Amino acid sequence: MNEVISFHHATEKDIEIVLSTIIQADKSGTEYFSFHTCFGLTEQRFREIMREILLEDVGGQEWNISDYIVVKVDGNTAGALCSWIEGSGNQSSSMIRGTLMQHFFPPEALKQAKVNKHLIDELFIEKIPGHLILEAGYIVPEYRSRGLLAKLMVESMRIRKAQHPHLVTCSINVLRSNAFAIRIYEKIGFVTEDEKFCENPEILKLIASKSRVLMRRSLDNLN
Amino acid sequence: MSHIEILDQINAIFRRVFENDSLQIQMETSADDVDEWDSLNHTVMIVEVEKHFNIKFKLKEVLSFQNVGDMVNIIHSKVTSA
């Protein structure tokens, strides 16, 4: 029997899948949770803080419900993915996230993050204004192995391109250790454009990889 | 307190937070102009500015900043209405 796959823009009703997506995308299939290793937050505390942030509806970065597309299979929520146009507002996505962290994260979490900032900075990849950014994708385990993440990515690009025909390039960045995700991105036309390395082994106490990859593809030929 | 006085005081905060003693900011300066002005330093800078001027920014105010001048204007309105 054929499955019915549908997509919709996330609303507040989808907050649980968006929260899970943000957390699971950060973990990328590992036990590393960067908001714990870098900021000292438990997953439960992060979830509480992120719920408040998501309800603020601040666009142009990954902590915003209405920038997510949710995929359903036979009416059941199967995953979500965030996309936005970098720099479409006043500030870059990283600066907006910084403001949200300053406003919602406990001061001690920000103080802890400062300690390891020099390591994380080595893997920072600046997002280019005007590019479509895909970030924080997640498929619920029971719906995996059927190409849903690729379908969700292509559908998100189609939706954004239809809304903003001037868009030319889509960017995504991913930890090198997430080989499974990289293979999916390559299958739908993304190619590696850049890679940042951190040679300090201490980085592996914070995140699962010593390198981060920037991948891009044109927004032509999305069929 | 004048806009220029506020700018001077912010400049001292920026130098300390961004660990750059030669930094000279203007009203038009934005994050694009200062290498050290990244998201985490931004959070520290906002906290330090709030402490120094004994004010609290609203979330929407900080999100509206396009440059230092926007911050100076909001600080000015807050300290003169206090």
Q: Class of the B3-81 domain?
A: mainly alpha
| Separation in Å, CA A38 to CA A15, A51, A89, A204, B45 | 24, 19, 28, 11, 19
Number of A–B residue contacts, CB under 8 Å: 54
CB A21 within 8 A of CB A79: yes
Question: A96 CB near a chain B CB, below 8 Å?
Answer: yes
Q: Which residues of A touch B46 (CB under 8 A)?
A: 99, 102
Please name the residue that has the structure tokens 């390891």. A116
Beta bridge partners of A215: A172, A192
- Name the residue ranges covered by the structural domains of chain B: 3-81
pLDDT digits (tens, 9 = 90+) for A11-69: 999 999 999 999 999 998 888 999 999 999 999 999 999 999 999 999 999 999 999 99
Candidates B38, B62, B66; nearest CB to A99: B62
Q: Does residue B31 belong to the interface with chain A, where contact is any CB pair within 8 Å?
A: yes
**CATH, domain A5-218, list 3.40.50.1700, 3.40.50.300, 3.40.630.30, 1.10.3720.10:** 3.40.630.30
Residues of A (97-116) whose Cβ lies below 8 Å from B: 97-103, 105, 107, 110, 113-114
Query: A138: pLDDT confidence band, cut at 50, 70 and 90?
Result: very high
Contact call for residues A29 and A142 (beta carbons, < 8 A): no
Contacts (Cβ under 8 Å, ≥6 apart) of B9: B52, B53
ipTM entry: 0.84
Which residues of chain B make contact with A95, given a CB cutoff of 8 A? 31, 39, 42
How is A163-185 classified by DSSP, letter by letter? H-TT--EEEEEEETT-HHHHHHH
Q: Residues A119, A123, A129, A130: what is their CA dihedral angle, to the nearest 10 degrees?
A: -150
Q: Which residue of A has its CA nearest to B36?
A: A121
Record: contact A110-B44, CB cut-off 8 A: yes
User: Does residue B59 sit at the A interface (CB-CB below 8 Å)?
Assistant: yes
Summarize pLDDT for B3-52 with one digit per residue, the tens.
999 999 999 999 999 999 999 999 999 998 998 898 888 999 999 999 99
B-proximal residues of A, 116-135, CB under 8 Å: 117, 121, 124
**Does B82 contact A at CB distance below 8 Å?**
no
- A113–B59: do the CB atoms touch at under 8 Å? no
CB contact under 8 A, B44 and A114: yes
- The pLDDT-based confidence of A121 (bands split at 50, 70, 90) is confident
Q: How far is CA A46 from CA A22, A26, A41, in A?
A: 10, 12, 6
All residues at 6 or more sequence positions from A13 whose CB lies less than 8 Å from its CB, including other chains: none
Say which amino acid occupies A9: H
Q: Considering chain A, what is the average pLDDT of its residues?
A: 94
- Mean pLDDT over A196-207 rounds to 91
Is some CB atom of chain A closer than 8 A to the CB atom of B16?
A: no
> What is the predicted pLDDT for the residue at A222?
82
Check CB contact of A150 with chain B, cutoff 8 Å: no
